[in-house]
Structure 1
Amino acid sequence: MPDPSLMEQLRADLTTARKDRDKLRTTTLSTFLSEVKNREIEQGRAVSDDDVRGLLTTAIKRRREASEQMRAGSRAELAEKEDQEAALLQAYLPPALGEDEVVAMIRDAVAGGASDVGGVMKAVMPHTRGRFDGKELNRLVREALAG
């Protein structure tokens, strides 16, 4: 039997969280699935696993930014909740890439003819999306091109 799609997995986990009365997990997954539903309505079609991964990445980034703002505002308990939600959603993404792996991809892109930041980013982004921070990737590309 093939692996379940990411959406099927998310829905199954939401059902389990509801049965277990896991409030944080239920709220986080319900909120995220409603974001996915809104994207389906916008696009007028069902979302693919790649679409869901993109939405996951955005949702995690938003929660991490919110966490930083909460900490800056001395609201540690709210920041902790945002961190927990981000970690919960992170589990649905493939494992993160290490900096060494990304640097190797950048070298390959440069060797393949990409000579500016945009060209290298275009070559590397499809392989790193959801698995490596975009700001960090941009920094590494700039360093590789400068050096």
Structure 2
Amino acid sequence: MTLKETIETNYKTSLKSKNKIEISTYRLILSSIKDLDILNRSGADKKETDDEDVKKLLKKMIKQRIESIEIYTKNDRKDLLEVEQNEFDLLSSFLPKQLNEEDTKKICIDTINKLGAESIKDMGKVMGELKKSYPDNLDFAKAGPLLKELLNK
């Protein structure tokens, strides 16, 4: 079953259980997937939307939720914070679990040693290897600054 089919199945289940938060979040996801389908079909490189496209879309939506959560936390908006947190949890459930900071650092160090990277000039090479080896598990927004710090020593 594709990721899109899984989301559609979960949407139908949430409709039956009348869970308003899940229903609205699934509608939002499915609407975005439909927009992506249209974009993929109408562009110069016509293709079907696959799981990788859906994962990228979900990551983008998660990033938006994280930004909103930070803003709502700063401004003490608990009502809006709760909605965003629920959406974040639901969106995150479709992606592999992100590695924590300690594991990310260990992987970065291992990759630097494996490639023999010595300076910041090698950052692109290391980042490329990380993206190839850990495309779904690593948060590259955290890995980038960490790599800079490790390679500047």
TM-score (norm 2): 0.83
Paired positions, count: 144
RMSD: 1.9
SS of equivalent to 1:84? helix
1:29 partner SS = helix
Matches within 5 A, 1:72-111: 72-110=74-112, 111=114
Q: 1:112 aligns with which of 112, 115, 121?
A: 115
Task: Supply the AA of the counterpart residue of 1:85.
Answer: E
**Distance apart, 1:6 and its partner CA:** 0.9
Counterparts in 2 of 1:67 and 1:102: CA distance versus 1, 3 Å = closer
Question: Can you list the C-alpha shifts for 1:23-69, whole angstroms capped at 9, x where unaligned?
Answer: 10010011011111111111113211111111111111101111222
Deviation at 1:144, TM superposition (A): 2.0
State the SS of the aligned residue for 1:116. Answer: helix
- State how far apart, in whole Å, the 2-side matches of 1:27 and 1:129 are: 28
Mapping 1:1-147, distance limit 5 Å? 4-44=1-41, 45-110=47-112, 111-114=114-117, 115-147=121-153
Query: How far 1:100 moved relative to its partner?
Result: 4.2
Amino acid at match of 1:112: L
- Report deviation, 1:7: 0.9
Bigger shift: residues 54-63 or 94-103: 94-103
Where does the alignment leave 5 or more consecutive residues of structure 2 unmatched? 42-46
Give the AA of the match of 1:123. E
Structure-2 change in CA distance of 1:59 and 1:127 (3 Å): farther
Letter in 1 for 2:35: N
Q: What's 2:44 paired with?
A: none
Alpha-carbon separation, structure 2, partners of 1:32 and 1:69: 22
Contact kept, 8 Å, 1:54 with 1:130, in 2: the verdict is no
Which consecutive unaligned segments of at least 5 residues does structure 1 have? none
Moved over 3 A (4+): 98-101, 126-130
TM-score (norm 1): 0.86
